[in-house]
Chain A
């Protein structure tokens, strides 16, 4: 996972709520067994509409997606995170996220930032008024800054540390192999096995 400390980029305003992971990447794109090439499937159905915001050339190269509430609800497909990252997004800002999507994002180093709905709308307004508007997302300070807007966001210390260091969870957990083994020795004897 790439480390994330601070990122400055332009934003795409996505004025929709309940952007479920089936919209972010439709199921037909999930048949690949590789980890690459998912950017082509990002918002595949919506991108067929020429007026869809991602098709607007003024937002080309933008790296921050600013969405309506309940972004990433539904299916657990991590392909949604891969598609956003491979398309070029580093941050998604919304007032609410689906729990599994948010978890998947932090495993991959795509930063989900929760801000109040009115702040989200101000950022969307700014990106619409001037697509060159830059937004800085500062994980160290837990702050989003753009022009005279400064907004703080919450993220737990542990996830923040992991993201800033770019650490792999499995490596961290394997440091506690002894504790896992000890736990396994005390498991209830009737618990099932699949063999």
Chain B
């Protein structure tokens, strides 16, 4: 019988397999940031261990960093960033500190440097590591104990997850984005739907997505409970990679591409589960609740808890409406927001900024609007295209790179009761600041919303 993409990549990385034990899996690339690594480095020191392969490891400062120029004002954040600097120096790990041209959100810089390639295993102490699966890599988030394990051994013991295919039939209509697609998928399968699986996104609509769109989709796999999401590499992938600083060159490139072309699910392979979704019926999608599965088409209304048959979902919806300060039946388009955030590892890449700029060109924002490029590289590219001028002319704030309001660890936060339209990935209670209320949206909807102050699709303008 044939094998799935996930099975092929997994098998390629098994260092050791023994009956009744998890596989020992080799890790090709380990990404590090300041928040989930300090205790792991401490652990190494306490056990007098070293980093096995510093040259397969790269670190960046992203979660804590301010997005306005200047030093970190919060002393606790500053200590954490300084701790990463000390650890990187001590263990010989390449670090992109604040202000460096290569600095940025960990999941943006990997692909940007060409370090993320098809068929690799990639881990990071961060759940959105699933992003890198867009290249046909197995990429997943790990905790600090596992970070220490990978530092010390360059491997991880793990059971191979089951495989799930999400078959996206048809084409996405004009004006419907990768973000709308993944939000619709999560609403369909639920926040626990992917638990225990590696998801492979397949079908015509997925093939037609750009690399950046594919990253947006894979990024949010974790919001459906799946540790990893993958898309088979193809010409779009190779084109994106070609010429990037760490991509293979010359003969090496040819050999790599030859191998990468074998990284697809065989026709006779079987998935443990198959989910189908029709792309052609989708419209802009937003969340109304406090988990990413609580979403609906922008053209609909806030649902009534009674609509949910399952008692657990019903009580979750009740709690969510209370927290979000929403009344059932209110059209989503009438929801007023205070802040718009465009950025994060979900939607902080150049195409996202172009999409937002296109809508803001020649218009004015009526809300506080933060545009935060995902990396200094993205920032530079945007400025070369003049996008920053478009944002500034519209009245939006053009910031330095970082995670920013995606999780509010730096000063970019919502105040209690404030409401945002955000291109990030989590609408959990308090995610963007204590008491803050988050609606997850695409960059296009975010930009249109900034213009009207209500949840709005570009077509409504």
- A-side residues, CB < 8 A to B, are 15-18, 20, 22-23, 26-28, 30-35, 45, 68-70, 73-79, 81, 96-100, 103-104, 107-108, 117, 156-158, 169-170, 172-174, 176-177, 179-180, 183-184, 187-195
Contact = CB atoms under 8 A, between A and B. Distances in A.
A73 B26 contact: no
Given A70-B225, A176-B24, A18 B191 contact: yes
A131 B451 CA distance: 53
Contacts of B76: 31-32
Given A26-B430, A158-B22, A170 B148 contact: yes
Contact of B246 (A74, A96, A189, A192): A192
A136 B148 CA distance: 32
Contact of B15 (A99, A156, A176, A188): A176
- Interface range for B: 35 or more
Contact of B39 (A18, A34, A69, A187): A34
A190 B253 contact: yes
Given A20-B428, A189-B255, A194-B29, 17 more contacts: A18-B290, A20-B291, A23-B429, A32-B76, A45-B430, A76-B127, A78-B36, A78-B39, A98-B195, A104-B144, A107-B146, A169-B157, A190-B252, A191-B117, A192-B115, A194-B55, A194-B93
Interface in B365-412: 407-409
A117 to B, nearest CB: 8
Contacts of A191: 28, 117, 120
Given A22-B430, A76-B141, A158-B20, A96 B127 contact: no
Contacts of B407: 22, 27
A160 B93 CA distance: 35
Contacts of B155: 173, 180
A194 B115 contact: yes
A97 to B, nearest CB: 8
B373 to A, nearest CB: 21
B126 A179 contact: no
A28 B227 contact: no
8 contacts: A17-B316, A20-B291, A27-B63, A31-B64, A31-B74, A169-B149, A173-B155, A193-B246
A30 B409 contact: yes
Q: Which of A28, A32, A96 has the most CB of B within 10 A?
A: A28
Nearest to B247: A192
Contacts of B47: 170
Contacts, number: 202
B434 A98 contact: no
Interface stretch (B77-85, B163-171, B270-278): B77-85
Given A100-B141, A170-B149, A195-B55, A22 B431 contact: yes
B248 interface: yes
Nearest to A107: B145
B356 interface: no
A194 B313 CA distance: 45
Interface in B299-340: 312-313, 315-316, 319
Interface string B139-152: 01111111011001
Given A100-B127, A107-B146, A174 B319 contact: no
B38 A194 contact: no
